[in-house]
Amino acid sequence: MIPVDTRPAAAARPDPAAERAPMPIAPSRTETWSRLVPQTAIQTRRLLLRWRRDPVTMTQALLFPTLLLIILNSVLGGQISTFSGINALYGTVPMTTLVSVMSGSLAGAVTLGRERDAGLLARFWVLPVHRASGVLARICAEGVRILLCTAVLFGVGTLLGFRFRQGLPAALALVSVPLVYGLAFATAVTTAAVYTAKGTLVEAISLGSSMLMFFCTGFVPLTAYPEWVKPFVAHQPMSCAVDAMRGLSVGGPVREPLLATVVWSVGAMALFAVPAAVGYRRASRA
């Protein structure tokens, strides 16, 4: 007979190489595209509600530009209309609309800085939500805010005498100018907000925006400025947008100022979009 070993087999010793091998990581169910849209919508609603309940944001985005429009029309409107031969509202209304766009973006940047300092962005980062929903929500919220503020400012301008004289297609194109300009400006401001913890940078951007307003063809006609500053006034982005909106509302050159506005806006988005996304990700993981 062949002897049979009845002793229990020794337990297999684990392979150290197998222990060191990383476990396969299953893809997160929260990173699917099907969840991106609803989660972006929820965060967009959160931002809009927060801005609506923030008196500083509402003052900068709506109250200040509305009062500025009324005051400029009351104090300088008649003189500018006589000097240029065109109702001053066709320059003042587009200019104050852009002021509203920029002021609202600055207020949103301040809110973003507060959320980062309070750790809210970091808490959102560890929640089971799509990573891109935070950035996309801010873009969507900015777009909604810009359209609402534009509608309010044009409504006030209509009460004062502003009219869309080039038809419905031109009116729709006119409304799209503040949207493109505002998204580009918001991208640049967001980049500044996520890379610095100091409010002085936002204040500096606010000062620069005010300078753009005073050296803009919507404030007074180009011929009223000194010769040495006319090239800057004629080609700075705010003047290009105002001239395009004036042409789309009352008539005049449209193609050149509109193309210049698109070039300025697309260039700013291309320059600041990636740094803004990277900075937002870094601020969320801090």
Tens-digit pLDDT profile for the chain (286 aa)? 445 455 555 444 555 544 444 444 444 455 667 788 888 899 999 999 988 888 888 888 899 999 999 999 999 888 888 888 889 999 999 999 999 999 888 888 888 888 888 888 888 878 788 878 888 889 899 999 999 999 999 999 999 999 998 888 999 999 999 999 999 999 988 888 887 766 666 678 778 888 889 999 999 889 889 999 999 999 999 999 999 999 999 988 899 999 999 999 999 999 998 888 888 888 777 6
For the chain, the straight-line distance linking the first and the last C-alpha, in angstroms and rounded, comes to 74
Residue among 70, 77, 60, 88 at smallest CA distance from 217: 88
Handedness of CA 206, 207, 213, 215 (dihedral sign): negative
Query: Angle between the 168-195 and 133-160 helix axes, to the nearest 10 degrees?
Result: 130
pLDDT of residue 128: 80
The CB density around residue 218, as the number of other CB atoms within 10 Å, is 26
How many of the other CB atoms lie within 10 Å of CB of 262? 17
Three-state secondary structure call for residue 6: coil
Q: Say if residues 146 and 183 touch (Cβ distance below 8 Å).
A: yes
pTM of the model: 0.84
Q: Is residue 236 a contact partner of residue 253, using CB atoms and an 8 Å limit?
A: no
What are φ and ψ of residue 153, in 5° steps?
-65, -40
Angstrom distance (rounded) from CA 95 to CA 107: 18
